[in-house]
Chain A
Amino acid sequence: MSVNRKVVTKNAYRISKKRNKTALRIRVPGGHLEAEYLTLIQSVANEYGDGSVHITTRQGFEVPGIDFDKIGEINKKIRPLIESLGLDIEVTDYGYPAAGTRNISACIGAEVCPYGNDNTTRIAKRIEKTVYPNNFHFKIAITGCPNDCIKAHMQDFGIICTTEPQYDVSRCISCEACVTNCTKKVTGALSMNEFNVERDTDKCIGCGECILKCPTGAWTRSETNFYRLVIMGRTGKRNPRIAMPFMKWATEDVIIQVIKNTYDFVDRHIDKTLAKEHIGYIVDRVGYQVFKDEVLESIELNKEIEIAEHIQWNGYYYKQDNQFRKQ
């Protein structure tokens, strides 16, 4: 059997362990799907696969046990799934146009979760439209609040939805529920001063807990939603590390533009001699300052935004790990 590995991979099929069998990878931006598509996924699994479906770590579906020669047929069948992504490109009968940029994952967000500061599914879909199709290997996730249930801190781009709490002192009964909660559960950004609450804007992470705790609506949400963008987190076999804050109090438009510009940045700097070079390693190689200057170029920044002067990524290198001793 002759299979062009690059072509099928780009088409969202995987080379699997089992000879002559492939697996289809279905994108579900934001991890949220109209239930009707489950029937379609079920029929692909039953008719072409081994009757099973794997739910991926990035919230997509993977249908294993597919014969390579059925790819054409399946691609026709899954056209409604690709159409459901609402991309700006023309959808064809030839399946997914790219697979490098991974499914945009998201926690359930403000549609359901009381802690959610924004509709994460909506943002995931908007980013999907912005970055897909693309072959660069990017991992992006959106989390509804700084609890970060989706693990945005393990992504190349982790978007954390926040709100800037607004305090109406005339409604405050000095019950201190917000202060106690922020001290115990968050960063201790709130304190009482002469029966009024003071918010330390350096410590406040915009989680919105104070708004949830307030019994009189003295705390409310800001008109605009803001986002904390953490970048270049990763797993992998060399240097796993947590993403670090790049921006806080950024608007959605700024975030989208930064992600877009990063694709151009990668295009300019990627080491084309390698099979693939991961974005985090490119930033390591060219330096944060170059990255920052290039991705911020021509972006109109909102006035509330704060951007990291320097970033020191921690994490560890497997090869330097010497803390183990045979027992």
Chain B
Amino acid sequence: MGYKLSNTGFNEYIQQLKERYRLFAPVLESKKGKFAQTDVIAYGEIEKFDDMILESKSYYSPKEIFFPIRETLFYFMKDTIETPKINEKPVIIFIRPCDLNGIRRLDSIFLKNGEEVDFYYLRRRELVKFIMIECLEGFDTCFCVSMNSNIALDYDAVIRVEENVVSLKVVDDKLEAPVLSNTDKVEFEPEFIKENKVKVTIPNVDLVSKETFNNDIWKEYTSRCIACGRCNTSCITCSCYTMQDVKLSDDKSIGERRRVWAGCHVDGFSDMAGGHNFRDKNGERMRYKTMHKVNDFYKRFDEHMCVGCGRCDDVCPEYISFSKCINKLNEIVEEGKNYD
């Protein structure tokens, strides 16, 4: 059902949803930017419509709402092992189409890769509903259209925010609320961005060869990339993690095992006990990540991992552009084709 609401009306809708849900959206975290006197836009819990920031892209993706940076898997005490309880109040995430498509990628890894379902991911993920934010303009570094992730249809509700008017379409009945019954009903279907400023051409997976992996283009990134891991931590689809075991009591009988985000650019990601490191050079890490995002993942799940949100471009302190890298990759793959 479609509705047209004033800003006040939409805020009232939010208040009514809040009784049943925790609501997350991009918010402004004042003075929490890394540079002095700068703010950061990040996903946070909102109290009211005004808290939502729609004019900028969030620096971090919404994945941390249900895939926490650090998550305790279990506590142990002597011989007992206990899985911690979580806040079971359902969650609504206001999300752009690219990110919504990104979450399907996370679902693929945690729920469909291998026979096991990720218990910790699933129990948080099941609590989440998505209200999609119509996104027609995008931002300077976005390339969702090239990645076919500009269109997302698996939303539970969708909004279009214009000056003083919010259009709302509710797909999941659970997101209906009393305020909507006295609201103008309209036909509303979201539209999707048709063109980004940045365009990439994904190399044909059938043409990617061993030579692509060994190509010299990756060497450039050995000198440019500083392996800080920001591209990994800001990415909506990066899902890697590492285990950490810690003891919490003095007698070491109480402790916890947790998982913590890991990134393929960060030192230690491929290190084995005993010291062997499979990707020592930062260019190799760039190659590993790039191929995963626009080649390897596709072979398992029939869609590319990268959704073109452009956050990795936004956050790279060395101004490495991932979209540029994809285009360079495509060039070498195309060149390789000509040589054959």
Contacts and interface: CB of A to CB of B under 8 A. Distances in A.
Q: Do A and B bind each other?
A: yes
Interface of A: 110, 114, 116-119, 144, 161, 163, 169-177, 194-195, 208, 211-217, 220-221, 223, 225
B233 interface: yes
Given A170-B68, A194-B246, A119 B40 contact: no
A208 B233 CA distance: 20
11 contacts: A118-B36, A118-B37, A161-B36, A163-B36, A172-B260, A173-B69, A173-B260, A174-B260, A195-B246, A217-B40, A221-B32
Contacts of A213: 228
Contacts of B230: 215
Interface of B: 31-32, 34-37, 40, 42, 59-60, 68-70, 228-230, 232-233, 244, 246-247, 260-263, 266-268
Given A170-B70, A177-B228, A215 B263 contact: yes
Nearest to B255: A194
A175 B261 CA distance: 10
B68 A217 contact: no
A271 to B, nearest CB: 42
Query: Which 6 A-B pairs have CB atoms at the shortest separation, nearest pair first?
Result: A110-B36, A215-B229, A215-B230, A215-B233, A194-B246, A195-B244
B233 A216 contact: yes
A173 B228 contact: no
A174 B233 CA distance: 12
B73 to A, nearest CB: 14
Contact of B69 (A114, A172, A225): A172
Nearest to B42: A217
Given A110-B37, A213-B228, A216-B233, A221 B263 contact: no
Contacts of B42: 217
Given A173-B233, A174-B260, A175-B266, A114 B35 contact: yes
Nearest to A180: B267
A213 B70 CA distance: 19
A172 B70 contact: yes
Candidate in A110, A116, A170, A174 with the most chain B CB atoms within 10 angstroms? A174
A70 B104 CA distance: 77
A325 to B, nearest CB: 48
A174 B244 CA distance: 10
Contacts of A175: 229, 263, 266-268
B86 to A, nearest CB: 14
Nearest to B32: A220
A211 B246 contact: no
A266 B26 CA distance: 54
B102 to A, nearest CB: 18
A134 B227 CA distance: 52
Contacts of B59: 217
B246 A208 contact: no
Nearest to B269: A175
Contacts of A194: 246-247
Contact of A221 (B31, B261, B262, B267): B31
Contacts of B68: 170
Contacts of A220: 32, 34
A170 B299 CA distance: 34
Nearest to A195: B244
B238 to A, nearest CB: 11
B261 A173 contact: yes
Contacts of A119: 36-37
Contact of A216 (B247, B261, B267): B261
Given A221-B31, A223-B31, 17 more contacts: A114-B35, A118-B37, A172-B69, A172-B260, A173-B260, A173-B262, A173-B266, A174-B244, A176-B267, A195-B246, A212-B34, A212-B35, A213-B228, A216-B261, A217-B34, A217-B40, A221-B32
A294 B164 CA distance: 59
Nearest to A169: B70
Contacts of B267: 175-176
A177 B31 contact: no
A163 B38 CA distance: 13
A144 B267 CA distance: 31
A163 B33 CA distance: 13
Contact of A171 (B34, B36, B69, B266): B69
A205 to B, nearest CB: 15
Contacts of B70: 169-173
Given A177-B229, A215-B228, A116 B36 contact: yes
B260 A110 contact: no
Contacts of B34: 211-212, 214, 217, 220
Contacts of A223: 31
B312 to A, nearest CB: 11
A92 to B, nearest CB: 36
A75 B229 CA distance: 57
A160 to B, nearest CB: 13
Contacts of B246: 194-195
